[in-house]
Homo-oligomer: A and B are copies of this chain.
Amino acid sequence: MDVSQTIKIDACFSPHLYPVYKDDESIVVIIDVLRATSAICTAFEHGAVKVIPVASIAEAKVYKEKGYKVGAERDGVMVDGFDFGNSPFSYMGENVKDQTIVITTTNGTQAIEAARKAYKVVIGSFINISALCDWLISEKRPVLLLCSGWKNKFNLEDALFAGAVTEILSERSEQIKCGDACLALKYLYQMAKQDPVKFLKHSSHKERLAKLNLKKDIKYCLTPDLSRIIPVLEDEALVSMPVDRLAETSS
């Protein structure tokens, strides 16, 4: 593609708004920092082969009955009868290594479902932020940062991550052209980046998670660059983006 061309980047704050933002050309980055996309990146880093995202508990049950390991979270809590919730720390053990796992969450898997037909759907989190940005820069395609939010409402932590991606891409390329949402998020991230944990302390979701005693999860989910893997949707499942593809694009 032409190196000189503008790379448009925009952010969508809710899966419910995705139809307004979607186009056939964009790479869609799914963001659910606390905690679904952080958990998915963690699963791949710890050897998962495939992650099948499903939108409903009913679909998750079908997979469970077929013998899959299944993560199911609603309202921040693991659903009874499943193998994982959406704490990243659940996705580090032998039970994910070399496995295909299935996951359904309150927000993140709904966002994946909304964007399923996009040009390409990848998973973003602070865990894999640098690898993600390297790849996005190399692709030279429009980028849509799709924040999962909380039950279709804006949330601060996903916005913060989208702002971080916007800032990194803007610093890396003069061809980046930000939509209004990304302009706003870049400013937000600049205010927050010295201490994101502190910045998020008043956010609705952090309060929600604090009640569930998940401070350790929050700190982990805000830690950058624990992985170089970019999960990408191929047909119905997320897989690790092939290494040759990464090698090709990071040149």
Which residues of A are at the interface with B, using a C-beta cutoff of 8 A? 10-11, 13-14, 16-17, 20-21, 150-156, 159, 178-181, 183-184, 187-188, 191-192, 202-205
Contact = CB atoms under 8 A, between A and B. Distances in A.
Q: How many copies does the complex hold?
A: 2
14 contacts: A11-B154, A13-B17, A13-B154, A14-B20, A16-B16, A16-B20, A20-B153, A153-B180, A154-B184, A159-B184, A180-B204, A184-B188, A187-B187, A187-B191
A17, A21, A188, A192: which has the most chain B beta carbons within 10 Å?
Answer: A17
Given A13-B13, A187-B187, A179 B153 contact: yes
Nearest to A178: B202
A178 B204 CA distance: 9
A152 B188 contact: no
Contacts of A151: 20
A183 B191 CA distance: 12
A23 to B, nearest CB: 12
Given A17-B17, A153-B181, 5 more contacts: A16-B17, A154-B180, A159-B184, A184-B188, A187-B191
